Amino acid sequence: MDRLITFERITIEPPLEAIYRRLGYRKGLTQIKSDEARALGESIEQARSLITLKGAARRLPILSKDSRQIRLPGNLCLESTLLAALLANSQEVLLMGATTGAAVIEAIRQYTAADNLTRAVVLDAAASEMVDSALDWMEAFFSRDLRRESRRLTKSRFSCGYGDLALENQKLFHDLLDLGRFGVELTGQYILVPEKSVTAVAGIETTG
Amino acid sequence: MKKRPLILDGATGTELQKRGMPAGVCPELWCIDHPEVIGGVHADYARAGCDIVYTCTFGANRFKLIQYGETDARSVNHRLALIAKEALRGKALIAGDIGPTGHFIQPFGEVDFEEAVEVFKEQAAGLLEGGVDCFVIETMMDIQEARAALIAVKETCDLFTMVTMTFERDGRTLNGTDPLTALTTLQALGADAVGCNCSTGPDDMARFIGAMKPYAKIPLIAKPNAGLPKTAGGRTVYDMDADEFASRAGALVAAGAGILGGCCGTTPQHLAALRKAVARKKPASPLRKSLAALSSARKTLLLEPGRPLAVIGESINPTGRKALQEDLREGKTALACQMARDQEAAGAALLDVNVGVPGIDQEKAMQKLVQALSVATALPLVIDSAKAEPIERALRVYPGRALINSISGEKEKLRKLLPVAAKYGAMFILLPLTDKGIPETAEKRAVVVRAIEGQARKLGFTRDDFLVDGIVMTAASNPKAPQETIRTVRWATETFGARTVVGLSNVSFGMPERKWINTSFLAMAAASGLTAAIANPASEELMFVKKAADVLGGRDRDAAAWIAHCAKAAGGGKKGAPIEDLPPDRKVREALLDGNREAVAGLVGEALKAGLDAAKLAQEIMIPAIVEVGERFGRKEYFLPQLIASGETMKIGMEVLEPFLKEGLKTAGERGTILVATVKGDIHDIGKNIVALMLRNHGYQVVDLGKDVAAERIVREIERHRPRVVGLSALMTTTKTQMKAVIALARKQGEQCPFIVGGAVVTKAYADSIGAEYARDGVEAVQVIQRMVR
């Protein structure tokens, strides 16, 4: 199972509802005029054209686990009680990583510098939601295969820096997923650059 | 299929599990060890009335088998085909089943296209040796993988081959291919039947079949799940029983399916009920013998009569473009991809791709560029080369149905390129010239067109499979040439009944103001029935004339595209003019509330000209307006883009106003200095930028230190600027701790200024714990800071 699978182009539609929600839109409360909606649509379209979603994933067997640790091949270990609880019934993990690429980040920087923060904020929100959707997409991709194997993914996934899964684990994800091939780098503070890059782990459970 | 739909089998995996296959094993290897079990499943489906039963080889490719330690994929396929043969004993036909590898193929993934073809060939060879009657390539979500498998089968044998894709409920595969695009690509490439399986239940699938039917020249397949998957008691279950499943069959046949079956969750009972339900339903025959359409991985362009004239973007051609020549020499594709995106945005429907740089390996360059463009643009490609090899290479790896530019009557070109076009199902531009040269008149060109068509027919082409090139010659050197082109286009359209194309810009070569010649010629050709023009979509004049010609030629229903084009050209995305009959100060207020950045400077100037006092305008109109914006944001009536647009409008307005304010009344910085920074290690600073904008608009002088700022620098800047408040932001849990470090260092060095913190992971409790104030957004930050400096 342990082979890196890469996705050079993940094709998804911008998740409009999620982008609007991230920007603070509340149905029934927020009022948007037609020209504002049109401008927003144009910004989201621009984000789409600037974003090239790429991703990588890797299935790894869980060698052993307890309530605090998940041990993976290659003497790798993820320490987190919350993750251990999520993976309580899992025999494998699916590590995932995705990035929007650097072009949209550069556009955000340029718009901010040019005093067009309105557009920068919409591009930022669109990029955040699209890279998150790329992980949903990867989960959907693997779920289909897993169903045929009588397996499934855990209902939720976990990212470094959340709960008690230390951000330092980002290095393990970055290395195992070979995110460098997409131009994603890891800073000394374990932050992925370009900033709209994400990683996550989900468990693989046997059904029935 | 003339009397009733063909019936395929149902699910295999769930049947095997019911009959004892444990979870987590390799189904194919388990079946080799338990031939009686898989044989029983096959036989049950045959007994249920299935005409075709799939071998249990869905995952029997090298990539998947290796995960279970099996390296001989050919032998596994061979043995499983023999097991099927033994179990069925002629009671049903056997389809050699080929499923996805679990990897994405270049250009969408890391697996080399030829490696994928080899993997599928290995599987096909084993199945063929085992005696399968036909092939099925199924559950594909990547059109490129489906193509690789189909090419592999077609290069192995000439058995009937079905291909079914898996569409999500939104009508696209996970990789973004819609049903019509899948059909266009796969039927052109030689699939004998195309359709969909898995993913959805019969109801959604009827929609997908319905979308394919008007354009299908081959039978369509529907092999749905037994409804949608649900989890019950830790197991995946499907909600349709056999009768309910069968009750939807009529709708699938009515939508156009001629071959039916079942996928996940279906059983021999479901298939028996299905067979019974359609026993007297005669499926509709394919509606077409041919289809004039091109596709990429994500889009189809129909070249049907009545459709808008298609502009083929001409920019990706190194002739006369030094930067592109340089890129192609260095093996780079970035510039060409940008050209593709620009032409797509300008309204091109297709993109011409030419890599004709002397001295480079054009075959290699073409493959690389076509793969890069397949990712960069959704537009179908036109493969343009004087040589046959780059064209063949491009067609093999292109994940769609491409157009060849071009095939002429030159003997060598015909001999080399017609078979290539036929193999990959490409359309082609028929260039009516021969080894003797270009015929001068339309009549002579017509003779060449008919001769080339005769050759093409022998390989299965029809008049829907090519576009006749009108051959554009330079008006400057031969004044009669444009007329002959138009006559050729008219003849090809009206008499011969084919599509047409011209390479537009050649007509104006050597003339001044070429764009007018080009657009006039386009209008003339469009009136003569032209299908497509190779041209520059960045030319505003050309695109207006094209759109106008579409309206006048009845090719733009309700002039919808024309109206949209005009709105876009008029800057439809910009704010409208403010209401004219408002007094000047109200106009300024409305501009601020609307975030009308384009108008506010003029409106402030207008208000000042009307005699309004600058200070009064600031204090009584603009500041209350921006406060109201904040209140609307707080009530969720405004969301972030509106808040920021108003903030930026305020900033522009105040910049206009500032010179007119008396000293002492100036708003900029009147409330003191606020220093803001995103802490060390953190690069996420958009929230901090919003806070800075809000603060400036409320009269604060903001010193923005940027992102990833070390504690030492922040403390040095505090010493230098003596801010009234210091704002720190962080998005990550790890960088949040830097806030504490900054405050500790400041205190250590005797700085007593107050701090305010914020960011996605920062909470009020955390702020309290480090001795700082907290704000959750820009509006609240202004409110908290106003309280802090009071």
Residue of B21, B140, B628, B686 to mutate when probing chain A, most A C-beta within 10 A? B686
Residue from A133, A116, A107, A96 nearest A5 by CA:
A96
Which helix or strand (DSSP H or E) is residue B197 part of? Answer: strand B193-197
| Residues B599 and B591: beta-carbon distance below 8 Å | yes
For residues B139 and B428, what is the distance between their CA atoms, to the nearest angstrom? 31
Residues of B within 8 A of A124 (CB-CB) are 686
- Residue B645 and residue A118: Cβ atoms within 8 Å? yes
Q: Identify whether the C-beta of residue A180 lies closer than 8 Å to the C-beta of residue A83.
A: no
Q: In which band, very low, low, confident or very high, does the pLDDT at B669 lie, cut at 50, 70 and 90?
A: low
- Asked whether residue B587 carries a pLDDT value surpassing 70, the answer given is yes
Task: List pLDDT tens digits, range B124-161.
Answer: 999 999 999 999 999 999 999 999 999 999 999 999 99
Total CB pairs under 8 A between chain A and B:
176
Nearest CA among B443, B512, B440 for reference residue B480: B440
Q: Could you name the CATH architecture of A5-206?
A: 3-Layer(aba) Sandwich (3.40)
Instruction: For B199, name the nearest residue in chain A, comparing CA atoms only.
Output: A144
pLDDT score of B323? 94
Identity of the residue in A20, A30, A208 whose CB atom sits nearest the CB atom of B636:
A30
Beta bridge partners of B354: B384
Closest CB to B174: pick one of A120, A141, A166: A141
Q: How far is B144 from chain A (nearest CA, A)?
A: 12
Residue A148 C-alpha, separation from nearest chain B C-alpha, in angstroms: 6
- Please, which pLDDT band fits residue A1 given cuts at 50, 70 and 90? low
CB nearest to A161's CB, from B59, B345, B732: B732
pLDDT of amino acid B577: 52
CB contact under 8 A, B58 and A148: yes
- Residue B432, pLDDT above cutoff 60: yes
Across residues B31-41, what is the average pLDDT? 97
Q: Do B636 and A108 touch (CB under 8 A)?
A: no
B66/chain A closest Cα distance in angstroms: 9
Cβ <8 Å between B734 and A208: no
CA distance B641 to chain A (A): 5
Closest by Cβ to A137, choosing from B174, B236, B651: B174
Best of A2, A4, A5 to mutate (most B CBs within 10 Å, chain B): A5
Residue B68 DSSP SS3 = helix
Tokens of B277: 């339900």
Instruction: Give A32→chain B minimum CA distance, Å.
Output: 8
**Chain A residues with CB-CB distance to B733 below 8 A:** 161-162, 167
Closest CA in chain A for residue B178? A11
Answer whether B24 sits within 8 Å of A151, measured CB to CB. Answer: yes
ipTM of the assembly?
0.90
Give the pLDDT confidence score for residue A35 in this predicted structure.
81
**Any idea what the Cα angle at residue B775 is, between residues B774 and B778, rounded to 5°?**
150
Output the pLDDT for position B23: 80
Chain B residues with beta carbon closer than 8 angstroms to that of A24: 633, 636, 638-640, 643
User: Which residue is closest to A150 within chain B, CA to CA?
Assistant: B23
Mean of the pLDDT values across residues A62-83? 94
- Does residue B572 register a pLDDT over 80? no
pLDDT at residue A87 in the model: 96
pTM: 0.84
Chain A residue numbers with beta carbons less than 8 Å from the beta carbon of B298 are 11
Cβ contact B176–A193 (<8 Å): no
Average per-residue pLDDT for chain B: 92
Give A66 to chain B, closest Cα distance, Å: 22
Asked whether the predicted pLDDT for residue B635 surpasses 80, the reply is yes
Whether residue B573 has pLDDT greater than 50:
no
Tell me the one-letter amino acid at B223. K
> DSSP labels for B151-178?
HHHHHH----EEEEE---TTSS-TTS--
pLDDT above 80 for B383: yes
Nearest CA to A12 out of B173, B195, B373 is that of B173
Q: Which of B703, B692, B709 is nearest to B781 (CA)?
A: B692
Q: Which is nearest to B626 in space by CA: B598, B601, B649?
A: B649
Chain B interface disruption, residue of A32, A36, A205, most B CBs within 10 A = A36
pLDDT exceeds 70 at position B387: yes
CB pair distance less than 8 Å for A150 and B102: no
Are A117 and B648 within 8 A, CB to CB? yes
A85/chain B closest Cα distance in angstroms: 17
Which residue in the set B576, B637, B733 is minimally distant from A31, CB to CB?
B637
| Cα separation, A120 vs A101, whole angstroms | 16
Q: Where are the domains of chain A?
A: 5-206
Residue of A nearest to B235 (CA): A208
Taking every pair of Cα atoms in chain B, the longest distance, rounded to a whole number of angstroms, is 101
Which of B107, B637, B732 comes nearest A8 by C-beta?
B107
Task: Check CB contact under 8 Å for B639 and A30.
Answer: yes
Higher pLDDT, B669 or A202: A202
Which of B58, B572, B638 faces A30 most closely, judged by CB atoms?
B638
Chain B contacts of A160, Cβ < 8 Å?
Answer: none
The neighbouring-strand residues paired with B535 are B313
Residue B395 pLDDT class (50, 70, 90 cuts): very high
Residues from chain B that touch A141, judged by Cβ atoms under 8 A, are 141, 174
State the Cα torsion A158-A161-A166-A172 to the nearest 10°.
70
All structural domains of chain B, each given as residue ranges with its CATH number in brackets, are 6-277 (3.20.20.330), 293-569 (3.20.20.20), 584-660 (1.10.1240.10), 673-789 (3.40.50.280)
What integer is the mean pLDDT of B554-581? 74
User: Which is more confidently placed, B714 or B666?
Assistant: B714
8 Å CB contact of A189 and B682: yes
Sort out which chain A residues have CB atoms less than 8 A from B100's CB and list them: 145
Q: What percent of chain B has pLDDT over 90?
A: 76
Spell out which residues of chain B touch residue A40, defining contact as CB-CB under 8 Å.
641
* pLDDT at B657 (0 to 100): 87
Alpha-carbon dihedral of residues B425, B431, B434, B435, nearest 10 degrees? -80
Residue among A26, A42, A43 minimizing CB distance to B636: A26
* Better-scored residue on pLDDT, B625 or B669: B625
A73 cis-preceded (ω within 30 degrees of 0) = no
| Chain B positions in Cβ-Cβ contact with residue A43 (cut-off 8 Å) | 641
CB A138 within 8 A of CB A93: no
Indicate yes or no: CB of B641 within 8 angstroms of CB of A91.
Answer: no
- Contact (CB<8Å) B23/A150: yes
Of the ranges A8-17, A121-130, B73-82, B344-353, which one carries the lowest mean pLDDT score? Answer: A8-17
Per-residue confidence (pLDDT) for residue B721, from 0 to 100: 93
Decide: B140 and B165 in contact? Cβ < 8 Å.
Answer: yes
Question: What pLDDT is attached to residue B437?
Answer: 95
Which tokens sit at B579?
């209401």
Residue with tokens 């002959």: B484
* Residues B675 and B696 sit within 8 Å (Cβ to Cβ): no
Residue with tokens 């491009």: B394
Chain A residue with minimum CA distance to B686: A121
Q: What confidence score (pLDDT) does residue B304 get?
A: 92
Contact A6 B647 (CB under 8 A): no
List the single residue in B with minimal CA-CA distance to A31: B637
Q: Is the pLDDT of residue B113 over 80?
A: yes
pLDDT exceeds 60 at position B664: no
